[in-house]
Amino acid sequence: MTDTAAPPTVTVTVTIDGRTIEAAKGELVIAAAERNGIYIPRFCYHPRMTPVGMCRMCLVEIDTGRGPALQPSCMIECGDGMSVATESEATRKAQEGVLEFLLANHPLDCPVCDKGGECPLQDQTMSYGPGESRFVEEKRHYEKPIFISELVLLDRERCILCDRCTRFADEVAGDPLIHFMDRGSQTQVNTFPDHPFASYFSGNTVQICPVGALTATPYRFKARPWDLEQVESTCTSCSVGCRVVVQSSRNRVLRYLGVDVDAVNWGWMCDKGRFDFEAVNSEERLGAPLVRDAGLLLKPATWNVALGRAASAIRTGLDRSGPDGFAVLGGSRLTNESAYAWTKLAKGVIGSDHVDAQLGDGLPAEAVLGLPRATIDDACRPGGAVLLIGPDPKEELPVLYLRLRHAVRNAGVKVVELASIHTSATDELAAESLRYRPGHALSVVRALLAGDDGAGRPPTSGAGKEPAAVGGVLAEQIAAATALLADRPLTVIVGRANLAESGRSIAAAAAAVHHARPEARFLSALRRGNVHGALELGMSPGLLPGRVTLDSGRDWFAERWPTLPAGRGLDAAGILRAAADGKIDTLVLLGADPLADFPDRDLAERGLAGARTVISVDQFLTESVKQADVVLPAAGYAEVDGTTTNLEGRVSTVSRKVTPPGTAQADWMIAVDVAARLGSDLGLESHGRIGAEIAAVAPAFAGLTHDVLVSPDGRDGVVVALPARRGNGAGPGVEATAVAGVGEPGGHAPTNVSTGDTGADAASGAAADPDLVAAEDPGTTGDGEGEGDDGDAAEPAAGADEGTAEPEPGVALPVWTIIDPPSVDAYSLRLVVTRKLYDRGTLVRSSPALADLAEPATLRLNPHDFDQLGVAPGDDVRVTSNRGNVTVPTVPEAAVPRGIAHLYFNLAGGRANVLIDGNAPVTDVRVERP
Amino acid sequence: MTRFTADNTTLAQEIVGRYPRPKSALIPLLHLAQEQDGYVTEDAMEHIAELVGVTPAEVLGTASFYEMLKREPVGDYVVNVCTNISCMLNGGEELLHHLENRLKIKAGSTTADGKFTLEDVECIAACTEAPCLQVNYRYFHRITHDQADELLDDLRAGKRAHDVPRHGTLSRVRQQIDPERRAGVAPPDVNVEPPWLARNEQATEASS
Amino acid sequence: MTDATDATSGEREIPRIVTSRWDLADGFTLERYSESGGYSSLRKALDEMTPAQVAEEVKTASLLGRGGAGFPCGVKWGFCPPGVFPRYLVVNGDESEPGTYKDRILMERDPHQLIEGVLIACYAIGVSQAFLYVRGEMALAQERLAQALNDAYDAGYIGKNILDSDFSVDIVLHWGAGAYIVGEETALIESLEGERGMPRLKPPYFPAAKGLYLQPTVVNNVETLANLPWIVANGGSAFADLGDGNSRGTRLFAVSGHVRNPGVFEVEFGTTTFRDIIYGERYADGIRDGNRIKAYIPGGASAPWFFEEHLDLPLEAGAVGAAGSMLGSGAIVVMDETTDAVKAAWRVVRFFARESCGKCTPCREGTAWLEKILRRLLDGHGRPSDVNKLLDICDNISPAITWPPRQTTICPLGPSAVSPIASALVRFRDEFFAYCGGEVEITVPIAGKAYIPSPTPTVGATP
Ligand SMILES: Cc1cc2nc3c(=O)[nH]c(=O)nc-3n(C[C@H](O)[C@H](O)[C@H](O)COP(=O)(O)O)c2cc1C
Ligand code: SF4
Ligand code: FES
């Protein structure tokens, strides 16, 4: 098993080709040789998968004291005193022989093969092969390429049966849908009839195929390797941030390949990330500004006109209502540099704090920045435990799923999942999966931490006939999960599994873990590409760049920016609500499509309609962009340089490879231009300049310069601010208040935290009494203000009493007041809305190869609920909530517990966000025949 | 195209229960499917995949490795003539060619009436009894061309039902493990020393 | 019909250790088995012996595995790492090596003897679940074993608390579905796990340490285990008193091909010679039609061929190994002077090409390529260059064409295809030249001792 986490222990001495080298005991000969610059040819061996030793290309003579014998170096572990000959006569003969055998049935159609020019078989034949083939017999024939999935084609004549793709499918992806079939020289890779290789990770097989047997539809015949130019970058299709290579030819992006980075993606990518490059090249991209004309139609305009319209709208708004009339929604698509530029424009020039990079589908920013951060490696550390209170990682953060799956299978990691429906984590990751009722996450977590049923009763004591349970989870299960989590290093993965369940209750659950287990680390499972970077750079109410709050950073930034907001602004829900009430003059959509993405569509519609002017900075004419008055075309992925931040807080580079369509501009340039039209100079001239300014002014980013990121140590990204790791001298009391930052010892560590009326004491005492954190206060949840008023309950103040001293980065964890929702009434079902990897999102929709993979919407119900509802499987039903209704077909699904109505978010034919009540902790629906 | 009947599903589940890991039951279940339908249908493979908890591709991967598991319909009688070395030395090839002529088909194919499938097979462990053949895996030793003709006639006339069951039926006796008598599966992840091994220590103690 | 024959070696009367019930029409029934002393060894082991003592008797007996590799059975049992349970026993009843015919008779005619052997092994090793893997094509053996197992369960010989003791074991009858390679022990384990029967690489793991489900697993051949009741009843040393050299007790040999009386014979191991068994009246009784012997395969299709000069070698593992071949699975295939050596080689190679599992490149591609070349020769399209090409391909599968074989493959199947080619081509090169259209110099070095004609016959002379 490849277990990179296990530290090398014993060292042994091995002689390879006469050179004495040190190797870790257990290290494979092929790997030890490569580490020392001796390349042994291979086909089946792949460092991230179990060696199988079947291609026999890596045969070398190995002598363990009993004389030299040909052995596969990919299977043999280094042993002390071992002697290896990679260039002996016997080795050479064996390698030549294997290559001749491999070529015997290989079609040698290299001139028309995608792999030609980058083909390990071709290359190794040049280096190690016989001069010519003596094979004069008839070659094996198969039907030329067959589709094994919508994305991947297989040419079995070219296949050399190295077992890489099949091993990947089984061992890494957990989707053994391709397999060896038949036997001997008839062996072939294939699928079962009508069961295609529908894996989210299928593209990896194309990348690791050592010949041109597997090809991907989006790349097939598009280019020859020698025509490709490439640059290393970071994928931003989700927040895992896989390192990739972006390849282009003639100014078109043609392919992404995964780069093997130990800390993140190990070379893997998901298919969405890999193939959504098609969106970059999409014909639908906006290449020129649009302005709504007198006839209310969006018409192309020059930048001059469009910027003028935008600036004058902003100016008019400012004149009418001051900075509070200006709001920005979105920003998680941006680079860190662009996010900084827009924060500076909104908060530092215009003076509005109504900025939110999240669209109500995430977590309170204080939770994301305030909980001590974990890395992916932390979550995967051997023998650790993971508490998953978040989305199905396979659907939202696919490569994190691969890492976790590996850790569970090979490193003894135990996962406890809290989810309201059965997910792929239930099947593949979880040692214990707690099926809780939506809205009860906090109660279940508290029981889990206390090891009882939450009411102080031992978990096994069933009161009365009903077995003891909390939030729908049986006490025995809670006890089993408690046992799994105890005594293991704990990582909590926290995010929004169910978009119909309030993010605050999830944040509160995470906070409860933090207070009970202060050593636990948290991995935020927010999905959007650079949402973490946007938050860290201040794109959230109450925050300023560098993980400081408006209050703690006020003095520092006051000396650096022209102005600052007077007080904490509104979050996405608050902004939309204010807009709906006519209080927003200018609403900027920064790559945001609230009509599709905001969980409460009704509010999003009213908000867009109510804002006086909507300015959209985007790459596509989405549903929301169509509502805008001014549309400014933005450059996108692979068209801009800069940095991005993944869910670990890891900052890594993104790179420009092609030019944007038409006159589209980098987002930061648009901010600069708008500022200029408003008469202000942002002072930002290039992404490099912005990077330098971030490093200089944003506290958490101090010293994180471009040079660091391109240095050998920084190339895989640099994780910013992990207080526990850096040992910032903060005592346990500080730890307990959840300050995240890279505070220097001796600096003024933010010691106490004001959390509003009841908060100050609660927070500092919270470490001792987790229950206080979740003090039940029915008063604040029912007031109809929803999440917008979280900030009121949490006014973090990190006592910046030294004037202009650089503030300590740190965001305090507020107290979220949560009560368990009432149980669902007899006529309703509780709504669960989760995401699918392929949905109607812009990237998928604009990538032809992926667009068809999004399934149509269905209502998934427990098979036993059909009778009671009086509907039959497959029937169309009307689903009605207090917000709206949709009509969708039903599907019986045992993965959905009874009493739950499950919909996927943002699929065609039934938009779940029509139903979700953003104000309420949960949403209940009725299901009827239409 | 059929899945298992209700009875066979019960039997299949019982067979799965004999093994420490369900996937071990794959080949027995594939045989059961072949016994039911005469060959292994795609539906049966999907059903087996469900019963042992793997993907249909994995079932097919295993099934297609083994020669006896037919994935297309075959004749009522599968006639396997051995032509491997011992039989070849004793007229196995001639016997095969004789039967090809008799049945008017090439080895590897099935007669138009669906009665016979003829196969040229590897050693069937009857080398001292060459030449030999099998019909539905029942042996016929030291067989002459005349005897072979007679055998085909008898089969066609349905006179051999007592010793040559239809294709797919291997053992007509099933192993039955009385739950009372069963020792139970030995799960690979439970490390318990079998009780009788304690006799070794007891003996050493007694002798010392 | 085949018959085992009472064997005498010199003056001594040799006991029939594994074939004693072969002549009985109902030897396969529990009644007959019990009447003829069946299950008394199991009783003896349970009542009078500790597991360690049983294992010790087997060691004393020097019982070599009868499946092909000939490894000492008692020693193999001892490789199970202490303290790691469960241990499994897998009975290898996959008999498929061309020329081999003995395990099937043992299973068909005396299934209880095998079952008793299995039980004794489980008791000695500490196995709590055993699997009896029978070759798929052997319907009658499956029926007889199924019946025998059912009867033995009912009689309390198998299952929970066997004979009211603390010994409990299940024996699960399992059968294959047609794949020779599954006889190789790690492929057998893969197959039993429901996988394609592709061998595992050893090292890192040998089955005794990590076998079935990666637990300690003993794989034993049917005939090997069938000896155990006799060994327990009569003691290991009585067994070891028979035979010579490494090879003790009796052993079954199937003699087939161009002999007058083909059959399966139980003979004293290690002392009987090839001449005895091929020419002896009570055995194969000489070559048919009074022909001369041309060559014979001494131990199954994988073995390098022997010739007249080897006839006086004893059927003894060490001696046969030293002469460059093996006794393998106890299968002697005799070819007389009428045999076309090229054709015979092709037929054996075709077998390996068809039965390659496909895992290793040299075996998958090499055996298929060799078969195609030989077929082309037989079809009249040979070229002079084919001679050295054949041998060089052999060399790429089994470097130096030597014995015991070296291999570029995982298991010995690929290299097995080299034996018939090297045997036939070196010894009967003129026949190859005739098919190839010309005489050529053989440039590929060949090291295997049996392939190289001895200047003087090893022992004895042509009869
Ligand atoms: C290609 C190949 C085929 C084999 N076939 C058989 C077989 O059919 N039966 C058998 O008992 N052993 C066979 N063996 C030997 C087994 O691997 C193994 O050595 C044997 O079953 C161990 O049992 P034993 O020690 O009792 O002989 C084969 C080995 C190889 C390499
Ligand atoms: S040598 Fe042949 S049969 Fe053996 S493992 Fe390799 S490919 Fe399979
Ligand atoms: S790389 Fe070692 S056998 Fe394939």
Cα of B5 to nearest chain A Cα, Å:
22
Distance (Å, whole) CA C402 – CA C324: 8
C340 touches chain B (CB under 8 A): no
Please tell me which of the candidates A179, A182, A183 has its beta carbon nearest to residue B57: A179
Q: Tell how strand C170-175 and strand C127-134 pair up.
A: parallel
Q: Tell how strand C127-134 and strand C87-93 pair up.
A: parallel
- Give every CB contact of residue C287 below 8 A, 6+ residues apart in sequence: C258, C259, C260, C278, C293, C334, C336
Q: Which of B26, B86, B120, B124 to mutate to test the interface with C (most CBs of C within 10 A)?
A: B86
- CA dihedral C415→C417→C422→C427, nearest 10 degrees, is 140
Distance (Å, whole) CA A269 – CA A429: 19
Which ligand gives the minimal distance to the CA of C363?
A: 2
* pLDDT above 50 (res A799): no
CA B157–ligand 3 middle distance (angstroms): 56
Q: Which amino acid is at C98?
A: P
For residues A187 and A137, is the Cβ–Cβ distance under 8 A? no
Which ligand gives the minimal distance to the CA of C358?
A: 2
| ipTM exceeding the 0.90 mark | yes
End-to-end CA distance of chain A: 54
User: Bridge partners of B79?
Assistant: B118, B135
A182 touches chain B (CB under 8 A): yes
Which of A14-23, A98-107, A146-155, A806-815 is predicted least confidently? A806-815
The pair of structure tokens assigned to C445 is 């070095």
Chain A partners of C353 at a C-beta cutoff of 8 Å?
184-185
pLDDT at position A466 = 54
C409 touches chain A (CB under 8 A): yes
Please tell me which of the candidates A90, A160, A185 has its beta carbon nearest to residue C399: A90
Mean pLDDT, residues A151-169 taken together: 97
Q: What is the mean pLDDT of chain A?
A: 88
The pair of structure tokens assigned to C90 is 């897998």
Atom of ligand 2 nearest to the CA of C357: 8
The pair of structure tokens assigned to B65 is 């490795």
| Subunit contact C52:B26, Cβ cutoff 8 A | no
| Subunit contact B89:C139, Cβ cutoff 8 A | no
Atom of ligand 3 nearest to the CA of A75: 2
A192 touches chain B (CB under 8 A): yes
User: Bridge partners of C130?
Assistant: C89, C171
Which ligand gives the minimal distance to the CA of C397?
A: 2
pLDDT at position A764 = 35
pLDDT at position C3 = 45
CA A33–ligand 3 middle distance (angstroms): 14
Alpha helix (H) residue ranges in A711-864: 723-726, 732-736, 756-765, 770-773, 778-781, 790-793, 842-845, 848-851
Count of Cβ atoms closer than 10 Å to residue C390 Cβ: 24
Q: Is the pTM of this model over 0.80?
A: yes
* pLDDT above 80 (res B207): no
Atom of ligand 3 nearest to the CA of A74: 2
Please tell me which of the candidates A179, A182, A193 has its beta carbon nearest to residue B58: A179
* Backbone φ and ψ of C382, nearest 5°: -70, 155
A795 against B36, higher pLDDT: B36
Please tell me which of the candidates C179, C376, C399 has its beta carbon nearest to residue A94: C399
pLDDT at position A726 = 32
Ligand 3: residues with CB < 6 A are: A 42-45, 53-58, 72, 74
Enclosing H/E stretch for C321: helix C317-322
Which residue's CA is minimally distant from atom 30 of ligand 1? C184
Asked if residue C219 has its Cβ within 6 Å of ligand 1, the reply is yes
Enclosing H/E stretch for A604: helix A601-610
Mean pLDDT, residues A538-562 taken together: 95
Distance (Å, whole) CA A131 – CA A122: 13
- Give every CB contact of residue C285 below 8 A, 6+ residues apart in sequence: C259, C260, C261, C279
| Residues lower than pLDDT 70 in chain C | 1-11, 455-463
Please tell me which of the candidates B25, B69, B127 has its beta carbon nearest to residue C101: B127
* pLDDT above 80 (res A631): yes
- Tell me the pLDDT tens digit for each residue of B73-106: 999 999 999 999 999 999 999 999 999 999 999 9
Q: Which amino acid is at B126?
A: A
pLDDT at position B1 = 55
The pair of structure tokens assigned to B35 is 């016994």
- Give every CB contact of residue A457 below 8 A, 6+ residues apart in sequence: A463, A468, A475
C368 touches chain A (CB under 8 A): yes
How far CA A88 is from CA of A203, A433, A486, A651, in Å, comes to 38, 55, 55, 47
DSSP secondary structure letter of residue B105? S
User: Bridge partners of C247?
Assistant: C244
Chain B residue with Cα closest to C254: B128
* Backbone φ and ψ of A880, nearest 5°: -125, 130
Please tell me which of the candidates A75, A97, A186 has its beta carbon nearest to residue C396: A97
pLDDT at position A455 = 53
CA A421–ligand 1 middle distance (angstroms): 50
- Tell me the pLDDT tens digit for each residue of B129-181: 999 999 999 999 999 999 999 999 999 999 999 999 999 999 999 999 999 99
C173 touches chain B (CB under 8 A): yes
Mean pLDDT, residues A601-622 taken together: 97
How far CA C64 is from CA of A791, B190, C227, C412, in Å, comes to 81, 32, 10, 19
Q: Which amino acid is at B127?
A: C
Cα of B61 to nearest chain A Cα, Å:
5
| Subunit contact A56:C361, Cβ cutoff 8 A | yes
Enclosing H/E stretch for C387: helix C385-397
Among residues of chain A, what percentage have pLDDT more than 90?
A: 78
pLDDT at position C122 = 98
Q: Band of the pLDDT at A527, cuts 50, 70, 90?
A: very high
Burial (CB count within 10 angstroms: exposed 0-12, middle 13-18, buried 19+), residue A519: exposed
B·C CB contacts under 8 A? 253
**Residue (of A906, A811, A862, A693) closest to A372 by Cα position:** A811
Between CA C349 and CA C300, with CA A68 as vertex, the angle to 5 degrees is: 25
* Residue with token string 């090249």: A281
Alpha helix (H) residue ranges in A71-219: 89-104, 120-128, 164-167, 203-208
DSSP secondary structure letter of residue C255? E
pLDDT at position C265 = 98
Q: Band of the pLDDT at A727, cuts 50, 70, 90?
A: very low
Cα of A3 to nearest chain C Cα, Å:
17
| Subunit contact B122:C160, Cβ cutoff 8 A | no
Which residue's CA is minimally distant from atom 19 of ligand 1? C69
pLDDT at position A467 = 62
* pLDDT above 80 (res A766): no
Ligand 1, pocket-test mutation among C104, C185, C419, most atoms within 8 A of CB: C185
CA C266–ligand 1 middle distance (angstroms): 19
DSSP letters for A188-219: EEEEBTTB----TTTHHHHHH-SSSSEEETTT
B185 touches chain A (CB under 8 A): no
DSSP letters for C126-143: TEEEEEEEE-TT-HHHHH
DSSP secondary structure letter of residue C277? H
Chains contacting C with at least 3 CB pairs below 8 Å?
A: A, B
Count of Cβ atoms closer than 10 Å to residue A74 Cβ: 27
pLDDT at position A294 = 82
The pair of structure tokens assigned to A129 is 């092969």
Asked if residue C359 has its Cβ within 6 Å of ligand 2, the reply is yes
Range C261-288 burial, b when 16+ CB lie within 10 A, else e: bbbbbbbbbbbbbbbbbbbbeebbbbbb
The pair of structure tokens assigned to A912 is 């779940």
DSSP letters for B130-178: -S-EEETTEEE-S--HHHHHHHHHHHHTTTTTTTSPPTT---SS-----
Distance (Å, whole) CA A720 – CA A710: 15
Asked if residue C353 has its Cβ within 6 Å of ligand 2, the reply is no
Distance (Å, whole) CA A202 – CA A176: 11
How far CA A86 is from CA of A35, A259, C309, C363, in Å, comes to 14, 28, 41, 22
Distance (Å, whole) CA C435 – CA C442: 15
pLDDT at position A721 = 58
pLDDT at position C10 = 52
Cα of C422 to nearest chain B Cα, Å:
17
* Torsion sign (Cα): B97, B100, B106, B109: negative
Distance (Å, whole) CA A461 – CA A374: 36
pLDDT at position A785 = 37
CA C70–ligand 2 middle distance (angstroms): 20
For residues A608 and A587, is the Cβ–Cβ distance under 8 A? yes
- Tell me the pLDDT tens digit for each residue of A39-48: 999 999 999 9
Longest Cα–Cα distance of chain B, Å, equals 77
